[in-house]
Structures are given as C-alpha cells and as structure tokens.
A and B are shown apart, each in its own frame.
Chain A
Amino acid sequence: MRINIRGRMQIYATGIIGLFVLTAGCGGSYSQPVAAPTAPANTSTTLSSTATARAEESSSAESPSTRTTRTFTLAASDVTFPAMVPSQLPVAPSGFMRRWGVYETAMVWAVDRPELEFRLITGWELDPDGRGWTLELKHGVQFHGSWGEMTADDFVWSFEDEIRDGSIHSGIGLARTTGATAEAVDNYTVSFRLDSPNSFFFDAFFGNGSGASTKVFSKNRTETLGVDAAFLDLSGGTGPFVFKKWAQGDEVVLEAFEGYHGTPSQLKTVRILEIKEPATQIAALKSGQVDASLVPAPLAEDVASDPSLDTLSFGVPGSQRLYPQGQFCMETTLAGEPIEPYPRPGYDPSKPWVGECDNPDSQENARKVRMAMSMAIDRQSIVDNILGGFGRPSYLPEVLPPLLDLIWQDKWFIPYDPDTARELLVEAGYPDGIDALIRITTGSHPLEVEMGQAVAQFLGALGGDVRTEVLTYSGNRPSVVARERSDLWFRSSSAGTAEPPELTQLRRNPENAFNPGLEVREPLAIIRQMDSITSREEIDKIRERLYDGFNLNQWIIPVVLADQILGINSDRILEWKMTTGSGYLGDFENIRFK
C-alpha cells in the first residue's frame, strides 16, 4: 500500500505570488485563496517512485467523535529548540522556527496545490499603492492555556516582538529594509505599511514557508508572566496541538487542543523521541517503538522490504552546497551608501579561493580555483552512490522552482571534468592541487557527513590535502558570526522545508552579524535591487544576471539537491499529508490512522 505525500516549493511561489500581488496593483479584496497562475498543478518532483497510488479519503471521517485516542510516535535525531516566544529563539539548525502544530501563521500553503489556505485570517487586501496590506483576522481563535481570544493586538504584538532590537529572528532584516510597521485598526483588523513595495514581504511574513513567518502568540501571556517565564511556558499558541512536555534532548509530547478553531486533529497525542543513532532509529521503527522516522536513502530498500513498513519521499529536496569562505571583499560603501562592517579577522588572501581583493589577476586566479573545485565534483556519482538516486545534481546556489530549474539548469551546467579542473589549477598557480579544510555542519540530512566527505575526496583527487571536520551548526555558528573562517563549509538543508533562499538571506550583508564568508559586492548589489522591482520580466532578467554571475564565479559551489525519505509504519498509519515548511516536524493534524 502506498501513501502519498505531495509538497510545494514556497521559494519560487514567493516570487510568483509576490509578483502576482504587485501586478494586481489595483487592489481588490480576495476572500478566496490565490491561485498562482503559472505553477503547474503536478510538479512534485518524483525523484523516487514511491509516490504513485493515493489512499482515498474514505477513511478520514472529520467529526471529532471519531478521534482516536491513539498516540503517534516519531523518532528524530535532533529534538531541540524550544519554539517559544519567537524573539527569544536560540539558533535553530536552519535559522528557522518550527510550527510543531502548536503555533500558527496567517496562512499555509495547501497540501496538494499551489494555493494558500487561511488559518488565522479570513481575508486580505492590498493597498492601491502596493505599500500596505490589511488582514482580516478570524473570530473565535482561542489561545492555549486560557489566555483568551486572539485579537489584532496579539497579531501586532507578535510581529513587533519578532523584529524588536535584540531579537534573533531571521525576519528582522526584511522588516527593517522595508520599514514595516503594523497597526491594529480594530479588534479583528491589522494593517501593515511599508516604505516601498516589496515582493518578498507577503509570503515571508504571512505564509508558513519561511522562518520569518509571523507565528501569533498571546500578548497577554507575556505581559502577565514576564518575558523570561513566558519563554519557558508551554502555552500561548493557537494551533491544533498543545505542548504537554518538553524535555530538551529527550522528547517532546503534544496533545490535541480541544478548543481549536479549525478542523481538529484526529490524534490525541504525538510523541517525538530523540534517538541519535540511525541504526537504533531503524531498529525502533522495525520493532514498532516508533511510527515514523527519517531513513537514510541507502537503507530505504531494507526498510521498505519489511512488510509492516513503508517509505515515502518528500519530493521536495534540500540543497547541499559548499561555501568557499573568506571572500570578504566588501568596501565600506554599497550602492553608494556607507556601511559599517564587522571586523573580519578571517580574511586571508593567501587562500586559493579568496585572493587579494584589489588585484584583478589575483581575483581571476581565485575564480579559477573555485571553478576547478566545482568541476572536480562528480555530482551524479554522489546522487547515485550515496543518495541511492534520491536527489539530483545542482548547479545553482539556491533551489529553484522545478519548471525554471529545468530550463535554466542546462544553461548553467557544470561538467564533471577533473582534467580541466587540474589545468585551471595550474593556470591559477597551484600545480600540486590545493590544501583545504572542509567543515561539515550537521543537523539537516542523515547523509550530510558522507556527502561532505565525498566532496572532500573529489577535491583531494586534484592532488592536495583536503581534510574534513564535523560539527553541529550551532557549534560552527560562533566562528561564522565572528567572521573568523576562510576555509570551506559544506552546508546542507533539510528536504521538505522551505529554506529561505541563500541570496535573500545575504541581502542585508555585510552589516549583519551573520555571513558565511560571502561579501562580494557584485551579487549583493543585484540582490538589493530585487527589493523594489515591480514587474515580472524585470525579476526574471535580474535573476538571470545574478545566476550568470554565480555560475561564472562560483562564489557558492552548488553540489546536489538531496531528497529525504521517511520510513513509516504502514500497518498503523493510513495517511500523512504534509505541507512544506514543516519538514516532518509538523502537520501532525493531517495524520490518519488505520
């Protein structure tokens, strides 16, 4: 029996929706979900062949009286990060706060079509000048823990708390650039004003796809308990589940919320257990201790051959890329504006991929080195051998919408050609290859370490000494913030989540605390331009210029897009429809038992 999961890519839909919104321009009120005009209906990238037949809805009765008292148990290798008041959030592996089914955003992307579904709002309206949105909030949304009903005050407060000084929320940059302000017009109406139209703002803050999405919390709770206590308090969300227990590094327990404003969940309890060793995760899956767990691709067959288990692929890959760090070549102005950069102790022009900033020959050599590294990697081999076919080579620094992907990938294709790579190195002055250290950060994909080591092996074949070091994302973060590094960083992103695009993350650099070592003027200037474009053709042209630049210079070296596989107990679970934006740590309300 096959279970189907479909997902959607918000990243491209961000652009498309934003454009649609802007070109709509003349406003008008939409009470129906917006259909993105060009996105094909069925582009779930079928990298695996497991998603074919679809279990029909016959067994999913919606009335609460049929709710099972059953518990759904999930194994995760990294159950971390209290998702409390967003502004207090410690660093998450992907800079991104999970919803857990406990916190909600204004809207979510529908499970099987590129449409937005309302959760906390019943309608939205765009101002004629394109610089403001008005949201109509849903009536009767109750907070967990009897903090009352959600009102516009709570929404405004949640937004402002996310972007206040000292918050480590990932949406601050965008909010600051656009000068966004929020106001409660009446109890159920919120109005947002921006300095200038911005195509990224809408989905970033109101959809469920990005880390910036505003999760609404009870203002009352924080004011009553105080910030510190509120951080540790488990109530205050609005979603179909409530946190019942949070034991860091051990387990998380969720319980269905009786007073939920929408379709209630079919489950009573969800338990998420932390099990670090993949072998024990799979042992737990086979023995029935857990109902679902991520399975590394090479073991998928082994799991699928077990009669009581099944495997599903997310269909939405995460990108794996190699950052050549240390490219700190910003000056103190960007597009004419003076900027105040952080100190950069990690700048080392002797590194082969960095070069001296003001020396065009040195920069050209550095470019050749990066291109050589890129050409030395046999991406298809990684996909075939390590990912077992669950993925594909990637030639661009971010995940593109599949349609555009197919058109543009050919243009920017990079062949696997170690001989040419060696020639390039000789030209650049490194006839014996390059010595390098690759740091592999963990927490996103079960096979990330192997992929990183494979990349190191390919680079080592060029003749130099290439070592690897494995650390968690948060273990690596301090040195990235301190701009201390000029080595290589192999970074993975989870599949099934909508990671904010690399490039939009870099838009506020170099003033931001965090920069992976990419402070090169050209692409950043282009990215900043994207903030205020208003036409579809413009966006495409600018995107193309941007990717041309990335392709020629390999400022970020893309490796592969890797899918992930979930092993699931098909004796017990009938269906689990996941939206993107949650990975597998959310959308529990969509689970149906047999």
Chain B
Amino acid sequence: MRFLVRRVIAGIVTLLVVTVLVFGLSRIQGDPRSLLISEDASLEQWDDLGRQLGLDQPAYRQYLLYVTRLVHGDLGESTLQRKPVVDILWSRIPNSALLAGAAFAFAILVGVPLGVLSAVKRGGLWDQGIRSFAVLGQAMPVFWVALLLIYIFAVGLNWLPASRNTGWTSVILPAITLGWFGASGQVRILRSSMLDVLDSEYVRLARAKGASARAVIWKHAFRNALLGPITFATLTLASLITGSIVVETVFSWPGLGLLAVQAVSNADYPILQGVILLTTFIFVFASLLVDVLYLAIDPRVRIR
C-alpha cells in the first residue's frame, strides 16, 4: 500500500544522503596517499600514486564512481588489510548479532515482566523498587557499568570471562551491560503504557463484565500496551547500536563496533564507511519492519 511505498522511498533517500556524508568524511580526512605511501618515497612517486588513485578527478566524479561501485556491492578495500571490506564486515556480523540478540533478550526478559509487575502493583514497594532500578539503569554510563561488571565478576570473583568471544559464557557480561539500558527503558515504557490502559474505559468495562484480574491484565491491557514498546523498539535499536560501540571496545568483543573504532584509530576509511552504511541500512530496514508491525497490530492506522 501507498504508505509502505512512501516509507521505502524515504529509506532509500536516507541511504543516499548517508553515502554523501560518508564520502565527504573520507575526503576531509586529507590525502589518502599519506596512508599508503612508503616513508622513503620521493615526490615523483607521490604524484604517480595520486594519478593511480584517481585523485586528479573532480570530486563529484569520484563520488559517482564511489556510488556506482556501492550499487554493485563493492565497498572497496581496507587500506590496512588489503582485503575487500565486504568480506571483513561479513565476518564480524555474527558476533555483533549475537551480542545484540543477547542484549535484546535480556532487555525483554527482564524489562517486560518487571514493567508489568510495576504497573500492577502500582504505588507499592515493588513498584518503587523497580522504578528506582529503571531510573538508575538509564542513568549510569555504559562504559562505567562495563568496567564495574568486569571488576566484580571477572577480576574479583573470576566467575566469567571478560573479553573476546570464547564461548557462550563470554557473552553474558557484555550482553548484560548492553541490555541494561534497554531493560530500564522497557520497564518505564511498559509501566506507563499499562497504567494508561488499565485506567481506560475499555478495561473498566471488561472488569465490570466480570473478567478475572489476570484475564484483564494479559488479554486486554497487555496487548494494547504493546504499542508503546514497539514504538520504543527503534529507539532501543539505536541505543543498542551506539551502546555496542562502547561495550565492544571495553570487552574486546570482535564485532562491528570494535571494528569501527579500530578503523577510526587506524585511519582505515573504507571500513569506517562500510560500517556506517551497514548500520544505517539495518536501522532503516528495522524501521520499516516496525511500521509493518504497527500496521498489523493497530487497526486504527490501517484506516487512515
């Protein structure tokens, strides 16, 4: 339907704009020859390399060339490793996906029940405790939580590994660190959504009809309250992407985030460009999915 088509076009426009941004970034950094040239090279060799790399062409032509290659799936070659960027990205995606998945699972498995509990036991001790946890969870900086967890569980108690991907135990600490923020967010969102719905006419009617408390909560309130968290989903994804950069750095988790940070340090711009484009693409795609989900769940939107 027309709505979806418009969203798809918007997504494509987004990606195009990002390619310009990414191209511009690699151009401001300076002359790419300075990364490739040997320390003993002469001025003549410098000029030759410039011609080889097409640096004497006007900028827009270089950009068009760049985009053409992109469309054909050629993201260029890493300046450091001399391997195609696509291969390198491909090898790191599973690690990032694993971490993001585990973090998301943690956020949902911890956040949702706590959010519901908090709404149902509104005003009580449980509610207050859970709300404090949620606020703290969103207030503490990710890197600090990471260091704290490493210190307590890896260095201090020596229960869990604190770096790299060595098996299923090694994903625990990074996933908790990354998912902590999301869990807190879910708690707060779900709680307020649930409260809204629980107060609504619709639920009061169900109650008046004699439906049991549990039925009311799960059948009616919960489903309608889901709309809130789903909207929050894209924000959660954004925070997962941003958070994973810091988390992967601290835990040396070999994913896309760490790859990007290393690429920045090493002035390896093709890789950096690749990661930015990939994450943007993932985000755009996920937003589209959320829109579709919305259409499916909320009949009101369909009518519009």
Contact = CB atoms under 8 A, between A and B. Distances in A.
Q: Touch between A and B in complex, CB under 8 Å?
A: yes
A49 to B, nearest CB: 27
Contact of B40 (A247, A284, A482, A513): A513
Interface string B126-157: 00000000000000000000010011001100
A88 B82 contact: yes
A166 interface: yes
Interface stretch (B27-35, B61-69, B282-290): B27-35
Contacts of A448: none
Contacts of B163: 275-277, 280-281, 283-284
Contacts of B258: 249, 276
A354 B78 CA distance: 37
B83 to A, nearest CB: 6
B212 interface: no
Interface residues of B, number: 48
A453 to B, nearest CB: 18
Contacts of A250: 164, 254
B162 interface: yes
Contact of A508 (B40, B43, B166, B267): B40
A477 B91 contact: no
Interface stretch (B100-108, B117-125, B195-203, B244-252): B244-252
A340 B35 contact: no
Contacts, number: 151
Interface stretch (A121-129, A201-209, A467-475, A519-527): A467-475
A98 interface: no
Contacts of B39: 95, 168, 170, 481, 505, 512-514
B40 A275 contact: no
Interface in A105-146: none
B18 interface: no
B185 interface: no
B30 A248 contact: no
B147 to A, nearest CB: 7
A173 B39 CA distance: 9
B38 interface: yes
A500 to B, nearest CB: 11
Interface in B163-215: 163-164, 166
B38 A477 contact: no
A328 B151 CA distance: 48
A274 to B, nearest CB: 6
Contact of A471 (B147, B250, B265): B265
B240 interface: no
A481 B34 contact: yes
B150 A168 contact: no
A340 B42 CA distance: 8
B199 to A, nearest CB: 48
A61 interface: no
A286 B159 CA distance: 12
Interface in B12-47: 29-31, 33-43, 45-46
Contact of A479 (B30, B36, B91, B151): B30
Contact of B161 (A281, A289, A478): A289
A475 B154 contact: no
A335 B37 CA distance: 27
Interface string B37-60: 111111101100100000000000
A477 B154 contact: no
A228 interface: yes
A185 B274 CA distance: 50
Contacts of B43: 340-342, 511
Interface string A442-480: 000000000000000000000000000001101101110
A286 B252 CA distance: 17
Contacts of B46: 342, 513
Given A280-B251, A512-B41, 20 more contacts: A80-B266, A81-B80, A82-B81, A165-B45, A167-B38, A168-B41, A228-B82, A232-B83, A250-B254, A274-B252, A277-B150, A279-B147, A280-B162, A284-B162, A477-B267, A478-B29, A478-B31, A481-B34, A512-B40, A513-B46
12 contacts: A90-B82, A165-B45, A168-B38, A172-B40, A248-B80, A249-B258, A275-B252, A279-B155, A279-B162, A280-B163, A281-B163, A342-B46
Interface of B: 29-31, 33-43, 45-46, 49, 78-83, 88, 91, 147, 150-151, 154-155, 158, 161-164, 166, 249-252, 254, 258-259, 262, 264-267
Which 6 A-B pairs have CB atoms at the shortest separation, nearest pair first? Answer: A168-B38, A514-B39, A478-B34, A481-B34, A172-B40, A280-B163
